[in-house]
Chain A
């Protein structure tokens, strides 16, 4: 066990070093969050100021992982994720826009959560999340990572909608279809509990 701890410490230091080196040496194509902000004006109508949605069934984008945001735009553009409102918008954006939008929304502070008025439901949700191994991909804090969405603090009714969309195959694309497979066997009760739990995680 000791040796594995040493190994981990070593690896984490090594990775930090390599990551910093890689950042320093990054070719000059770094996405431009400021340009993303300008482009994002059109998004605010539905997704809210600073990427925090005030509209039912529309997700907050603030604090979502950069890659996750980019992938969704690419999926919308390719037609593998379908949405009437998004379709005309994604037809107008190029790869550079997609990178900039990802950079912009990912660096915004995620939504502040409301007080949890039903902690018992959250407890059920936490159990369901453990049983379904959601953290395997979405990380222990549910902040998401890389191409995997942040769930913590997302709008509750949107989480319900997203799980339903996966469950009924309305939404596919990405992650080797893992979400469709996970959601298929979720009960309504579990969906309600999961959404409540995740929406109230900071």
Chain B
């Protein structure tokens, strides 16, 4: 009901404002650049209050990130999702665990514990087998958006906005992890695009994203970049520049190069700009933000004399407002052989679009050079009608048997997708 009322209200706003829209858009062009005093210390603790808004038109007013069911999906709702999700022939989806509220990045412990981070709730979970069922335990509470996790040398690493924390010998201490040890904290403390993930490379260094604290603007120093951090020493290097909000990435098993998804700016229109899949060929590459979007669309206000040809273009344009988050190269043996080294991307789905899209898993078929990528839908059905989410996939991890697990922060659940020949 609420949903349909609010959309009707929105429609009414659009009708009333119909004539004003064109005018407002014209005036936008004449507005001076939004200016942020990003050189001040205060900026680091308190980003601009309009950080996720932009120069929205009247017709865009009311578009805001939707919020899912606070207690996750019930068993009946999950059964409905499993029924609705469409997969290629031979694939099957089931619920792996429920009650994993706000589930985000997943990481495997060496002894088979599945660790799961969360968004606003501040929880980290451990999922283990108990009497043939999955037991979900909250092992950490009260962290600041602990969305990103990694497991290495027996330790659980959690990244919570401005701290990378290590919990040693984690699987033996699930009931008493303690406060852990902060191994890296050279990051701003604000939540705006401050939630992070961890991707571990072959040398054991972590790729970590640093989003700008606004929709679009001239980024302050030390954000709009991806860093590579050594969790042993806390040493770090800037690995990529000109990155807006990256919420997922993985190391190419073929080349060792880092690939990542990137959420493009909001409030241009329903269909622009496209979100991206990128590859870092060389350290220090610039991916365009805030000057150029989707590889070929200079920003109206923030191009500031730059051309798109100066920047690294995306491997593939994933579509506007699909919100690509967690991604993995498929390195297992269970799926058909043509899936080997394909990229599976969890798309969280839109909020800044009148008709949502995304909320699905896509498959990108591409060689190690990143050229001639092909994209197709792998799993869909979490979105009904224009704005009704049943669930929102946000991360993917491979299981030992070659199946994949998918985290869904809307339904508060983990799914398992497996394949068997007929």
Query: Which residues on A are within 8 Å of B, measured CB to CB?
Result: 1, 4-5, 8-9, 11-12, 14-16, 18-20, 22-23, 27-29, 65-67, 70-71, 73-75, 78-80, 95, 98-99, 102, 132-133, 135-137, 139-140, 145-148, 172-178, 180-182, 184-185
Contact = CB atoms under 8 A, between A and B. Distances in A.
25 contacts: A1-B19, A4-B18, A4-B21, A5-B14, A8-B15, A11-B354, A12-B11, A14-B386, A18-B384, A19-B4, A27-B77, A27-B80, A78-B123, A80-B121, A133-B50, A136-B53, A136-B61, A136-B64, A139-B62, A145-B5, A146-B3, A147-B67, A174-B67, A176-B52, A181-B48
B71 interface: yes
B59 A78 contact: no
A79 B18 contact: no
Contacts of A16: 4, 8
B49 A184 contact: yes
B79 interface: yes
A181 B384 contact: no
Nearest to B191: A177
Contacts of B120: 75, 80, 173-174, 176
Contact of A29 (B51, B77, B355): B77
Nearest to A15: B7
Contacts of B47: 181
Interface in B181-229: 190-192
B319 interface: no
A173 B9 CA distance: 27
B176 interface: no
Which applies to chain A's interface (DSSP): helix, strand, loop or mixed?
Answer: helix
Contact of A12 (B7, B72, B142, B355): B7
B88 interface: no
A174 B70 CA distance: 10
Contacts of B48: 181
Given A28-B76, A98-B70, A181 B192 contact: yes
B101 interface: yes
Given A28-B76, A176-B192, A181-B49, A80 B122 contact: yes
Given A67-B69, A136-B61, A19 B74 contact: no
Contacts of B80: 27
Contact of B18 (A5, A80, A135): A5
Q: What are the 6 A-B residue pairs with the smallest beta carbon separation, nearest first?
A: A147-B67, A27-B76, A18-B385, A177-B191, A19-B4, A70-B70
B70 A139 contact: no
Contact of B8 (A15, A27, A28, A67): A15
A29 B4 contact: no
B306 interface: no
Contacts of A20: 4
Contact of B141 (A67, A79, A147, A180): A79
B191 A18 contact: no
B134 interface: no
Interface residues of B, number: 62
B14 A133 contact: no
A145 to B, nearest CB: 5
B142 A11 contact: no
Nearest to A28: B76
Given A4-B59, A27-B80, 9 more contacts: A12-B11, A14-B386, A22-B388, A27-B77, A95-B72, A173-B120, A181-B47, A181-B49, A184-B49
A132 B11 contact: no
B6 interface: yes
A4 B13 CA distance: 12
B46 A15 contact: no
A66 B4 contact: no
Contact of B74 (A27, A66, A132, A177): A27
Nearest to B63: A136
Interface string B83-105: 00000000000000001010000
B22 interface: yes
A8 B11 contact: yes
**Most chain A CB neighbours (cut-off 10 Å) among B70, B385, B386:** B70
Contacts of B51: 178, 181
A27 B122 CA distance: 29
B70 A19 contact: no
B66 interface: yes
B387 interface: yes
A67 B122 CA distance: 19
Contact of A70 (B6, B71, B121): B71
A177 to B, nearest CB: 4
Given A12-B7, A176-B191, A19 B123 contact: no
Contacts of B384: 18, 22
A74 B5 CA distance: 25
B8 A133 contact: no
